[in-house]
């Protein structure tokens, strides 16, 4: 039996609706700028005819389950929500065609790609990695997973409120790179594995939250999500 010098980090996992077994999380990928209206509000419009999709990652250890209270994170004064459809990979695949992409779909969840926007934008504008703006503790929030094997979601309302006031309201039909395209393209960079999560991007209306705020959101036909912002650490 292997012995370790200290207790290894726990395996991250998410609940699956209707099942007692939990889904172990391998990696967390995020698609950048995947709705035109959000790309424009960030000052970086997308021309799909000449641009490729791009991705960043969050550590699995940043994962937080819906319904929790998270501390307002350090080193930011502009802590943003991004409501997203999360795609859950259930089967390994490399260089998967768009036509076969559905075979990798385990299911979906509702997610929040929480962002230290001030840090992200400084990094972006200096041409530096934006890890400190995106890949931070408790920064990847996810609902329970819904098992929808082989389903390609093409149309579903996606909405978010803060303290009951609507902030984001769109439809995943507006994704610039759709579910089949994301799987096919990402699988040219990585060998996709069961337990990989892909946050598919956020629509317009992103904004800041403060301690005491409560975020609610949903992807119709998939799941709902909740997050409460606690005091700063």
Nearer to Mn ion, 90 or 139 (CB): 139
Min dist CB 31 to Mn ion, Å, is 7
Distance CA 5, CA 56 (A): 31
Instruction: Give the number of residues in contact with Mn ion, rule: CB under 5 A.
Output: 3
Distance in Å, CB of 205 to Mn ion, minimum: 12
Q: Does 202 bind Mn ion (CB under 5 A)?
A: yes
The CA distances from residue 51 to 34, 99, 179, in Å, are 12, 22, 17
Closer to Mn ion at the Cβ: 76 or 202? 202
Q: What x/- string results for residues 54 through 83 when contact with Mn ion is judged by CB under 5 A?
A: ----------------------------x-
CB closer to Mn ion out of 106 and 199: 199
135 interacts with Mn ion by CB under 5 A = no
- Residue range at the interface with Mn ion (CB under 5 A); choices 85-93, 95-103, 111-119, 159-167: 111-119
Q: Of 113 and 185, which CB lies nearer to Mn ion in the complex structure?
A: 113
Is residue 34 part of the contact set for Mn ion (CB under 5 A)? no
Least Å from the CB of residue 26 to Mn ion: 19
In sequence order, the 6+-apart residues with CB closer than 8 A to the CB of 69 are 227, 228, 229, 230
Query: Closest-CB residue for Mn ion?
Result: 113
Shortest separation between residue 32's beta carbon and Mn ion, angstroms: 7
CB of 84 to Mn ion, least distance (A): 6
Distance CA 119, CA 132 (A): 7
When the beta carbons of 82 and 144 are compared against Mn ion, the nearer one is 82
Residue number, 62 or 202, with CB nearest to Mn ion: 202
| 113 part of the interface to Mn ion, by CB under 5 A | yes
77 is written with which tokens?
């004064």
Q: Which helix (H) or strand (E) holds 118?
A: helix 117-126
For the CA atoms of 11, 86, 119, 55, the dihedral, rounded to the nearest 10 degrees, stands at 100
Tell me the helix, strand and coil percentages in the chain, rounded to 5.
20, 35, 45
Nearest Cα residue to 62 out of 70, 54, 53: 70
- Half-sphere exposure of residue 129, counting CA atoms within 13 Å on the CB side? 6
Torsion of CA 180, 201, 70, 59, to 10 degrees: 60
Name the residues that contact Mn ion, by CB under 5 A. 82, 113, 202
């Amino acid at each position: 039996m292997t012995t370790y010098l200290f207790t290894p980090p726990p395996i991250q996992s998410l609940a699956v609706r209707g099942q007692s077994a939990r889904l172990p999380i391998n990696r967390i990928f995020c698609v950048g700028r995947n709705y035109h209206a959000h790309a424009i509000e960030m000052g970086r419009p997308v021309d799909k005819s000449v641009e490729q999709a791009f991705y960043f990652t969050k550590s699995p250890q940043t994962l937080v389950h819906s319904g929790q209270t998270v501390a307002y994170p350090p080193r930011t004064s502009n802590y943003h929500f991004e409501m997203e459809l999360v795609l859950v990979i259930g089967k390994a695949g490399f260089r998967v065609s768009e036509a076969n992409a559905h075979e990798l779909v385990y299911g979906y969840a509702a997610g929040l790609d929480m962002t230290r926007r001030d840090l992200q934008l400084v990094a972006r504008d200096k041409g530096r990695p934006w890890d400190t703006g995106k890949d931070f503790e408790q920064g990847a929030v996810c609902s329970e997973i819904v098992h929808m094997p082989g389903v390609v979601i093409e149309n579903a309302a996606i909405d978010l409120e803060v303290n009951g006031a609507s902030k984001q309201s769109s439809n995943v039909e507006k994704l610039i790179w759709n579910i089949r395209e994301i799987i096919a393209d990402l699988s040219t960079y990585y060998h996709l594995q069961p337990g990989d999560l892909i946050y598919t991007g956020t629509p317009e209306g992103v904004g800041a939250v403060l301690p005491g705020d409560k975020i609610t959101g949903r992807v119709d036909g998939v799941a709902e999500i909740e997050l409460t912002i606690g005091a700063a650490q």
